[in-house]
Amino acid sequence: MPPPKNVKIDPEEQAALREWKTVIVSNYKADIARLHGMEDSVHGFHVEHHLIDQQPTLRHMFHENPTRALELGHRIMREQFDANNIPTRPVIRVVGLPENYLNRVDELRMRDRNDLVCLDVKINEVSQPYGWLKQATYECLDCGTPTVINQRRARERESPRVCRVCLDKVFSDMDTKDLPMGMFHPRPNFRMVIEECVYEDVQDISMSQITYNSEHRLINCSTRNQIVGTVADDLVHALESSTYARINGIVRVQPVPERNFAKDTRRLLSIDILSVEELPVQDEFNDS
Distance CA 121, CA 239 (A): 12
Select from 2.40.50.140, 1.20.1260.10, 3.90.1300.10, 3.40.710.10 the CATH code of 100-130+201-287: 2.40.50.140
Under CATH, to which class is 11-95 assigned? Answer: alpha beta
What pLDDT, on the 0 to 100 scale, is given for residue 26? Answer: 96
- For residues 122 and 283, is the Cβ–Cβ distance under 8 A? no
- For residues 252 and 238, is the Cβ–Cβ distance under 8 A? no
What pLDDT, on the 0 to 100 scale, is given for residue 1? Answer: 38
Mean pLDDT, the chain, integer:
87
* pLDDT tens per residue, range 152-196: 887 788 888 888 888 787 667 665 556 565 555 546 689 999 989
Backbone angles phi, psi at 42, to 5 degrees: -145, 145
What residue ranges do the domains of the chain occupy? 11-95, 100-130+201-287, 131-198
Residue predicted with more confidence, 156 or 231? 231
**How much is the pTM?**
0.81
CATH architecture classification, 131-198:
Single Sheet (2.20)
DSSP states of the chain = -PPPPPPP--HHHHHHHHHHHHHHHHHHHHHHHTTTT---SEEEEEEEHHHHHTSHHHHHHHHH-HHHHHHHHHHHHHHHHHHTT--SEEEEEEE---GGGEE-GGG--GGGTT-EEEEEEEEEEEPPPEEEEEEEEEEETTT--EEEEE--TTSPPP--SS-HHHHHHHHH-TT-S---GGGGSSS--EEE-GGG-EEEEEEEEEEEEEEE-TT-BEEEEEEEEEEEEEEEGGGTT---TT-EEEEEEEEEEEE-TT-SSTT---EEEEEEEEEEEE---B-HHHH-
* pLDDT tens per residue, range 100-128: 999 999 999 999 999 999 999 999 999 99
Determine the Cα angle at 250 with ends 248 and 82, to 5°: 75
Residue predicted with more confidence, 259 or 133? 133
* pLDDT tens per residue, range 68-104: 999 999 999 999 999 999 999 999 999 999 999 999 9
Given a cut of 50, whether residue 284 has pLDDT beyond it is yes
